[in-house]
Copies of this chain bind each other. A is one copy, B any other.
Amino acid sequence: MKTAVLITIGDEILSGNTVDTNSNFIATQLKEIGIKVLSIFTIPDEESTIVSTLAMAFEMADVVFTTGGLGPTKDDITKKAYADFFEDEMIFSDEIYEHLRAYLEKRKRLWILEHNKDQAMVLSKAKIFLNYFGTAPCMILEKNGTYCFSLPGVPYEVKPLVKDQIIPFLKEKLSLDHIVTRIVSVVDIPESILSETIEEWELALPKHISLSYLPVGTRVKLRLTASGSSQELLNTELENEITKLFLLIGENIIATQEDKIEKILGELLTEKKLTISVAESCTGGELAHLITSVSGSSNYFLGSVVTYATQKKIDLLNVNPKTVEEFTVVSEQVASEMAIGCQNLFKTDISVSTTGVAGPGKGEDGKDVGTVFYTIRIGNQETTSKLFLPHLERLDFMNFVSQKVIQDIVSLLIKK
């Protein structure tokens, strides 16, 4: 199996100012063509460190990526390190300069061309992929059969360069094994019990099929990865293994293809031709955002409201002020009335509501931080549940609750 090492160059990542999402994207893309990432090294913008890390990566892998360290204010160090490691010199590329000029002209920013012209300096041995969404090009270098790609750091520049240019290039240059992956989503069983229940099956897996456990909230994703020369055969083999898994934990499996719970929901809603709407309080828009993050969600998601202020729950969702008074705003009764109001407002088959306290700081009614009630209405049947998650920080809380609500809708729809 071909292997890769990713090198992330960036003080902003080491200082915690930026989360590195490029590595994740590149790893996902490489996995799809059967290249395994051995390690990710995140290092500072220092010439000597870049050189020594490149050397280490070239010892380890068939493909090396660097991201970051390029751009008008940082170019120098990274390119010097490249020139040093590849024993090469920098030349001015007319092709890149012309591309840069056209790029800036199109964006009415030609006046910054002179300030950016050093971006047309590249190693003399480098092949170039032009960057259509930014100013720093990607250099491709080869040394002892290992390919190296220098990428900028901006995620929306990295994505098309990798997807449209690097992946096709690697497919052509390396003779790659096929990789097939299936994700089995398992709910309502703790990881330790799950691993005992399926232990025998796991031990009997053929060598070219690997299994990993990925817990996400209250769900465990089992990832099966198979590698070999025939994609069709690999598909059949994985299908067979999943069939065996169904005999062991069938009632805990909610999906066997998709990875993301919001996509699983999207497929179910599309298949069953159902519409959904959302009334949020403590999740503050995250639940709607998760649902709409799926391309095509406009076919089943009609809309949502975030009623943060209690009065808006009354005005928009027709929650009865007496219910709020009697049970407080964080209660199963209010959750239920919000869901009914939401279903009436948007006229959807399914409606969901959340009301709780994300914290930090006590909610208006004094209930403990971390409490949330949520109601799922499917047609005229409703289920209200409570979660208590005082250990989660605000954003983690919003995300955990939203994931769990969607997971519950999926479970309910499957059982129907």
Contacts and interface: CB of A to CB of B under 8 A. Distances in A.
Given A223-B17, A309-B302, A38 B44 contact: yes
Nearest to A364: B298
Contacts of A292: 284-285, 306, 308, 358, 398
Contact of A307 (B112, B303, B360): B303
Interface string A1-42: 000000010011111111111011111111100001111111
Given A19-B24, A293-B394, A391-B133, A13 B40 contact: yes
Interface in A200-259: 212-215, 221, 223, 225, 259
A17 B285 contact: no
Contact of A39 (B14, B17, B221): B14
For A12, A192, A291, the residue with the greatest tally of chain B CB atoms inside 10 Å of its CB is: A192
A296 B359 CA distance: 8
Interface stretch (A79-87, A155-163, A332-340): A155-163
A129 interface: no
Most buried by B among A72, A132, A361: A72
Contact of A212 (B12, B23, B25, B301): B12
A139 B206 CA distance: 35
Interface in A325-361: 345-346, 358-361
Nearest to A159: B393
A155 B24 contact: no
Contacts of A38: 14, 43-44
A408 interface: no
B214 A12 contact: yes
Contact of A308 (B31, B40, B221, B301): B301
Main secondary structure of the interface of A (DSSP, over half): mixed
Nearest to A24: B19
A298 B12 CA distance: 31
B308 A302 contact: yes
Interface string A90-129: 0000000000000000000100100110000000000000
A168 interface: no
Interface string A181-206: 00000000011110110000000000
Contacts of A192: 72-73, 112, 115-116
Nearest to A289: B285
Interface in A353-398: 358-361, 364, 391-396, 398
29 contacts: A8-B40, A12-B212, A12-B223, A13-B23, A14-B40, A16-B27, A16-B31, A16-B37, A17-B28, A18-B214, A20-B23, A38-B43, A41-B41, A73-B191, A73-B195, A74-B213, A112-B190, A112-B192, A156-B400, A159-B393, A284-B291, A285-B289, A285-B304, A286-B289, A292-B358, A295-B359, A298-B309, A303-B307, A303-B308
A-B pairs with the 7 shortest C-beta distances? Answer: A284-B292, A285-B288, A16-B27, A16-B28, A285-B289, A115-B192, A40-B42
Interface of A: 8, 11-21, 23-31, 36-44, 49, 71-74, 109, 112, 115-116, 132-133, 154-156, 159-160, 190-193, 195-196, 212-215, 221, 223, 225, 259, 278, 284-293, 295-298, 301-309, 312, 316, 345-346, 358-361, 364, 391-396, 398, 400
